[in-house]
Each structure stands twice: as C-alpha cells, then as structure tokens.
Amino acid sequence: MKIEDYKIGTDSSVFIIAELSANHNGSLETALETVKAAKRAGADCIKLQTYTADTITIDSDKDDFKIKGTIWEGKNLYKLYQEAYTPWEWHKEIMEVAKNEGLLCFSSPFDKTAVDFLEDLEVPAYKIASFEITDIPLIEYVASKGKPVIISTGIAEKEDIELALDACHRMGNKDIVILKCTSSYPAPIEEANMIMIRDIAERYGVFSGLSDHTLGTTVPVVATAFGAKIIEKHFILNKSVGGPDASFSLDEKEFSEMVKAVREAEKAIGKVDYTLTEKQIKGKDFSRSLYVVDDIKAGEVITEENVKSIRPGFGMHPKYLKNFLGKKADRNWEKGDRFLD
C-alpha cells in the first residue's frame, strides 16, 4: 500500500510518524516550529488530531467525566480537550508547512464532521486513535473515503480488532495498518508486548506497526526487529513547551536518536541470504584449513601429528583430512606448507 508516494510494505523502510497531539500547547507558532523540528529529527510524517471538546465529549461535571488513574488524574474530560485540541483553522497552514518541509501530514478524526473537514484538506490517510477503535460507525465512515486507514489497538481485545477490520472491509477498504499500542501514559516497557506486532500481521493479513507511549527509544527498535512497518511517537519541540502530553513525548534530540536507532536496526535486520559479501569472503583467510605442522618425507605416513586443521584458510578444507590419514606421502612436505591435493 502507499500513502501518497510513500510505500508501506515488506521491502520499504519503516514509516516514522511524529505525533503533534497537544504539544503545541495552544500556540500556532509552536506547532509550525514543531513541524520543522520533526523534519530535522528524521520523521516521515507529522500527524494531527482533529476534534473539539464538543465533538469528543460533553461539558459535564458528573463523576463519569472526571479522569481517574492516569497522569491527568482528576481533570474534567471536557476541560482537558479544550486545553489539548488543535484549532481547526490551524490545520491548513500546518499541512502547508509540512508539505514545504517534505513531510506527509494527516490526522486522527474523532467524528464525522472532522472526516468531512479533513476530506476538504485532501489528507492522504487517516488514523483511528486507540480509544476510537470501538467506534464502528466512525471507522466505516473513514474507510469509505478509500484512503489508507491506520488503527491503534491500545484498548482493543481480539474482537475489537476484528470488528474494526470488518468495518473497513465492508466499505471495500483493505489498505489497513494495525498499530500495537499500550494506552498508558507513559506506558510501562514490560507491557509493550512487541511480539504482538508479528502476530497481528500474520493473524489478520495486514501490515502492523507501533504507536508508542513508552519512554525512550528501546521499544521502537524492538518493534522494527519484529517487522513494524509504521512507528508513531509523540513529538515535542522541547519539554519546556509543557502541555498535557509533554511527559511522554520525545524532544528533537530524543526523536533523532530514535530515528537513527530504527534505521540502524533496519540495516542490521537485513535479509535472508547465505551468500557472502566481499568482506566476508576475505574473512575466510582466517578460517581453518589443512597445513603441514611437521616435516614429512616421501613415503612417511600422514597422521594427525604432522597434518592439522589450523589457521589460516589457504590450505585444503578440513573435511578432507580423514581421506589422507594413514596414507603415505607421495613427496616431501615442509612444516608450514599448505596441505593441498
């Protein structure tokens, strides 16, 4: 599959998304500088979130609408989203700056009006956020637009993943990537379960990847080793910007280090290939081969005391030693001679 000109697939490099989320902290200037910093840090894409407090929840002081058990403990949902949202009137300018920087830009819509708005902006793909994976009508509407759909699994059980995939398929959309995600902020590394990336791809016949909320860069590297095709990480210009997501976001230096580590991991993974490179072939000079280790006169018996497998590797292959043991030498050999037939 492709997102604009970027190929997502078996032979392509990992597609790295810098998630802006609330890391503009209410400043368009900060948002635009963050886009530029994401490019410098090596991202392929900057991703937005498109909602308002009114499109994602309601203004209520009832206990159900107070956040519990997270870094936003005690906050009211409506007030948190009022603080965190990216104004819709910023989207066009952010996307234009991203394009000028050579970055792709798309968004996570949280209701149908957001999808319609993003369609007018001609986004190349959509992301379904972790907590929206159960919103089947929203997923159907997104999938109906015929663009790649990237879905996070942060709160998903198997049935939720299957329902989301079915929703896309009903709309005739099979350009789907499922991202393993742990919806804790920050997420404990021991709950990352990166082995799931391979299982998701095999079980559901899709490309898989990672939406990461752990601290540091270890988990993205492990994800790459397990076959992740997309890695998404929250990105912030610098931690001093502050805001609701700052504590689990990477700054420019950290994100650059992650990108470097992922790219090195890709090189290290390589491909299944039993042929040797020129350097590896040269290394065979230091392998074992058969050498005369004690002078042998013509007619003397060849034994393991006068012919041995030693370094370097210019003599006969050691596998042939047994063919000559006990036989008489047909000529004189000096210590240090390569034993050759």
Per-residue confidence in pLDDT tens, the chain, 341 aa: 999 999 998 888 999 999 999 999 999 999 999 999 999 999 999 999 999 999 999 999 999 999 887 777 888 999 999 989 999 999 999 999 999 999 999 999 999 999 999 999 999 999 999 999 999 999 999 999 999 999 999 889 999 999 999 999 999 999 999 999 987 778 899 999 999 999 999 999 999 999 999 988 999 999 999 999 999 999 999 988 888 888 889 999 999 999 999 999 999 998 889 998 888 889 889 999 999 999 999 999 999 999 999 999 999 999 999 999 999 999 999 999 999 98
Question: Pairing relation of β-strands 289-292 and 307-310?
Answer: antiparallel
Please name the CATH architecture into which domain 12-269 falls.
Alpha-Beta Barrel (3.20)
What confidence tens digit (pLDDT) does each residue in 27-73 have?
Answer: 999 999 999 999 999 999 999 999 999 999 999 999 999 988 777 78
Contacts of 233 (CB under 8 A, 6+ apart): 16, 17, 18, 19, 212, 220, 249, 250, 255, 258
**Rounded CA separation 231/223 (Å):** 8
Domain ranges of the chain: 12-269, 278-324
Q: What is the CA radius of gyration of the chain?
A: 29
Measured distance CA(284)–CA(309) in Å, rounded: 14
Are 215 and 236 in contact by the 8 Å Cβ rule? The answer is: no
Q: Which residues of 100-128 are buried (b: 16+ CB within 10 A; e: fewer)?
A: ebebbbbbbbbbeebbebbeebebebbbb
> Which pTM was predicted?
0.88
Burial class (CB in 10 A: 0-12, 13-18, 19+), 190: exposed
Token representation of residue 273 = 């290939």
What's the residue count for the chain?
341
Tokens of 10: 């078996």
